[in-house]
């Protein structure tokens, strides 16, 4: 009698275990949520290998072959060169992504190549255009126009699912990809935008750069030391909005580190106020003089800022931001708040700006890997469903 009860209990345990395992397999293999979860695990596995990111990597996933091509994209004003990465031996059309990197000297930057390969191994067709302005350390709306051309080209390829094409952007490239995604010619077709460490508003961010102080959502002011590249790029970009004479004088003054009183008096009102913004001692002082800049500056800000394009932005937005001396996480917080339920925001500690190289303990890395997996799971559900 006891033996019979034992066997019955044992059979019940086995049956229950079988049902749980079968249910888990059905969920993972035959539901969109499960499929997205598996793809997120696979991508993180490839990502860890490509970047040596020292996050836990599951050994059961083999690498997939990637096809690399160099192509050209026709546009309204010029032909754009681009690199294309896509998975090999895929029987169905793949989702496509336009890769909008930040200001880099070359698209052969190892971080761009590694991430493009990881995305292609994860099942994406990845288009990496040669954006002339980004490669020249410029933050210009022309890049957003080029992104629109790139999106339309990618959408037309017979190996791409035209209903599943979006953007992935980093730093200033992320902000300009949001501007591009709101363009009325493609806004209804953009399936998603993945934005890593974007700025929300070009001018408000510039004020934070030059004052060495940024504001959080609760109104707190945080002192920070922006990266010299950020300072230089934003100084140059704003100076280029002035007259040639003002440009020469301010450029020389920035090199020298000072401006004589008689030189300052000879500047235009815009140039004087811009110099005051560059040397603001507080965020409030930077805002005071920024508001005095002419409509040329305000209109430029509107063309280059996600903050001015939110109404036209229809796609879901997936935001990631880490500890940063290029663009502080507060910019992503502002963007997430403005977008509301349209955005999913995941702060992470693994990244130094857009580079997953921050040193963390094993348990911290495991925690960050789970955060990234959960973020990617939700993003891939949109990308592959």
CATH number of the domain enclosing 145: 3.40.50.1820
Please tell me whether residues 286 and 191 are part of one structural domain: no
Please tell me whether residues 139 and 280 are part of one structural domain: no
Q: Looking at 249, 268, 301, which one is the last position of a domain?
A: 301
Strand duo 160-170 + 94-100: pairing: parallel
Residue 14 has a pLDDT of 47
Is the Cβ–Cβ distance between 40 and 377 less than 8 Å? yes
Q: Looking at 274, 301, 328, which one is the last position of a domain?
A: 301
Residue 350 has a pLDDT of 65
Residue 90 has a pLDDT of 78
- Burial (0-12, 13-18, 19+ Cβ within 10 Å), 329: buried
Token reading at 143: 């890049």
Token reading at 10: 């044992």
Residue 1 has a pLDDT of 55
Please tell me whether residues 195 and 57 are part of one structural domain: yes
- Burial (0-12, 13-18, 19+ Cβ within 10 Å), 33: middle
Long-range contacts of 115-118 (CB under 8 A, 24+ apart): 115/47, 115/50, 115/51, 116/83, 116/85, 117/46, 117/50, 117/66, 117/85, 118/43, 118/46, 118/47, 118/50, 118/51
Domain interval for residue 83 = 38-201+305-384
Please tell me whether residues 134 and 186 are part of one structural domain: yes
Q: What domain count does the chain have?
A: 3
Please tell me whether residues 62 and 157 are part of one structural domain: yes
Q: Looking at 269, 301, 333, which one is the last position of a domain?
A: 301
Please tell me whether residues 44 and 172 are part of one structural domain: yes
Token reading at 95: 């989702």
pLDDT per residue as tens, the chain (385 positions) = 555 554 455 455 444 444 444 444 444 444 767 777 777 777 777 666 665 545 454 554 556 789 999 999 987 768 899 999 999 877 789 999 999 998 888 888 888 998 999 899 888 999 999 999 999 999 999 999 999 999 999 999 999 999 999 999 999 999 999 999 999 999 999 999 999 999 999 999 999 999 999 999 999 999 999 999 999 999 999 999 999 999 999 999 999 888 899 999 999 999 999 999 999 999 999 999 999 999 999 999 999 999 999 999 999 999 998 777 788 888 999 999 999 999 999 988 766 555 555 566 777 777 887 888 888 888 888 877 7
Residue 358 has a pLDDT of 59
Please tell me whether residues 247 and 214 are part of one structural domain: yes
Is the Cβ–Cβ distance between 87 and 120 less than 8 Å? yes
Please tell me whether residues 62 and 115 are part of one structural domain: yes
Please tell me whether residues 7 and 94 are part of one structural domain: no
Please tell me whether residues 316 and 269 are part of one structural domain: no
Please tell me whether residues 292 and 345 are part of one structural domain: no
Please tell me whether residues 237 and 327 are part of one structural domain: no
Residue 366 has a pLDDT of 78
d(CA 380, CA 385): 8
């Amino acid at each position: 009698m006891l033996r019979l009860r034992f066997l019955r209990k044992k059979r019940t345990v086995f049956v229950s275990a079988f049902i749980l395992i079968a249910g888990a397999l059905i969920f993972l293999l035959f539901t969109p949520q499960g499929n997205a979860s598996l793809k997120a695990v696979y991508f993180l596995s490839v990502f860890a290998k490509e970047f040596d990111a020292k996050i836990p990597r599951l050994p059961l996933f083999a690498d997939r072959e990637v096809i690399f091509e160099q192509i050209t994209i026709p546009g309204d004003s010029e032909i754009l060169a681009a690199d294309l990465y896509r998975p090999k031996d895929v029987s169905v059309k793949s989702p496509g992504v336009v890769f909008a990197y930040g200001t880099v000297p070359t698209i052969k930057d190892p971080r761009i190549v590694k991430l493009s390969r990881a995305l292609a191994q994860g099942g994406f067709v990845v288009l990496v255009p040669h954006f002339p302005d980004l490669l020249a350390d410029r933050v210009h709306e022309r890049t957003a126009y080029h992104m629109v051309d790139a999106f339309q080209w990618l959408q037309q390829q017979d190996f791409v699912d035209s209903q599943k094409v979006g953007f992935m952007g980093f730093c200033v490239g992320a902000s300009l990809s949001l501007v591009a995604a709101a363009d009325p010619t493609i806004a209804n077709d953009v399936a998603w935008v993945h934005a890593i460490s974007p700025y929300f508003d070009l001018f408000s961010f510039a004020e934070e750069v030059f004052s060495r102080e940024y504001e959080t959502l609760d109104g707190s002011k945080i002192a920070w030391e922006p990266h010299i590249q950020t300072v230089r790029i934003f100084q140059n970009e704003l100076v280029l909005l002035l007259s040639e004479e003002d440009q020469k004088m301010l450029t020389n003054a920035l090199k020298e580190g000072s401006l004589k009183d008689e030189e300052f008096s000879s500047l235009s009102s815009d140039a004087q106020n811009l110099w005051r913004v560059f040397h603001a001692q507080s965020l409030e002082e930077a805002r005071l003089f920024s508001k005095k800049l002419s409509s040329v500056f305000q209109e430029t800000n509107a063309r280059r800022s996600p903050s001015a394009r939110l109404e036209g932005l229809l796609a879901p937005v997936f935001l990631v931001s880490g500890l940063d001396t290029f663009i502080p996480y507060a910019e992503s917080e502002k963007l997430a708040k403005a977008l509301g339920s349209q955005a999913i925001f995941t702060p992470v500690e693994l990244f130094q700006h857009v580079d997953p190289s921050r040193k963390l303990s094993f348990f911290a890395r495991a925690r960050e890997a789970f955060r990234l997996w959960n973020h990617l799971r939700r993003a891939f559900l949109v990308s592959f469903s």
